Structure 1
């Protein structure tokens, strides 16, 4: 940004870029796609350096699958799944890692919806982009809205681990919105998705 320019006058948008990295080392890396590294960075125009931890993450897709057959009472497909880091059982949306190199994220979202919820959708649109923890990771979560839903068998795909124990059920969108606003559900993609959907609905953009 030019000297003397008020940041409030800059375009309202995130800016990409990096401080100089003067050293880096892996703290943990194995055959999984998520890794932990330590970077040493230098503040621009200064000699002091700072140690920063970075979780490498390929990003994820998240699907807000809405049954709006009754436009006055739309329903959302949700999961309840055990998360060990929580720890606990959390209400979530169908989602998955972008761990297939070069795959269009929309195709990833369509596959995850079929595998986790046994659903297909006729209409897809981007709903939101979420960067949940930029202080420690460059993970990007792409949230899609899926409508025009129908049953889709998951075929020979088998659920494993926590996914094998998850519950899949439907909940009214307004009920889910109330739960998010009350703090009864709090996973960031779910809260972002229902708030974004509600905002677009209120503005007549759906």
Structure 2
């Protein structure tokens, strides 16, 4: 048996959208189960996201820290953001987020991994990039607001992050998945064997 996720879509008898927000909405589908019964499923409809594990020449990961109201915590995270436009090139979105949140640019980009963070309740898909050969971005810093106005920055060694997430001290999905994927890639075929930055992404198709 091949261990690989595959597309599949069960019949939907009825669908409604009881809530529409600024960026996301909630949808309710009546889904036909394999035994013929119908089950109601509520889930968040999400445009998709990108995240950037930016690794510097000293083997440190660029982190940001900001308040996340739903969990009532300040979390250490890697730069990330929404795909603002349907069909947006995820590499361009990742480069934008790295600039806006950290005022940094990178010359070497690879796809680290693709994930569905909460597939039982949300259709969000996230592409996590590895960015290397970092340098300070030119020009003025991006004007931040709301939670981002209180944002902190740090560069933390990879080994220290691994200890922190295994000790239950770091919780952000993209940070945890990104760091562990980095370690796994190094132990496997190496970082240069990762997919190219413009590799296809069936979850959120885009034009190059």
Q: State the TM-score, normalizing by the size of structure 2.
A: 0.87
**Corresponding residue for 2:23?**
33
Partners in 1 of 2:54 and 2:123 — Cα distance?
A: 26
For 2:74 and 2:101, locate their aligned partners in 1 and report how far apart those are by CA, in whole Å.
Answer: 16
The total of aligned residue pairs comes to: 191
Structure 2: stretches of 5+ with no match in the other structure: 192-208
Matched, 1:205 2:190: yes
Q: Which of these two proteins has the greater Rg computed from alpha carbons?
A: 1
**Residue in 2 that maps onto 1:20:** 11
CA RMSD of aligned residues (A): 1.4
CA distance in 2, matches of 1:159, 1:54: 30
Match of 1:14, SS? coil
Please give the TM-score of this superposition, normalised by the length of structure 1: 0.88
Structure 1 residues not aligned, in runs of 5+: 1-8
CA distance in 2, matches of 1:89, 1:187: 10
**Contact between 1:20 and 1:44, CA under 8 Å: does it hold in 2?**
no
Residue equivalent to 2:110: 125
Alpha carbons of 1:98 and 1:79: their partners in 2 closer, same or farther (altered >3 Å)?
same
Counterparts of 1:141-180 in structure 2, within 5 Å, are 141-153=126-138, 155=140, 157-180=142-165
C-alpha distance after superposition, 1:138-164 (max 9, x if no partner)? 111100000000001463631111011
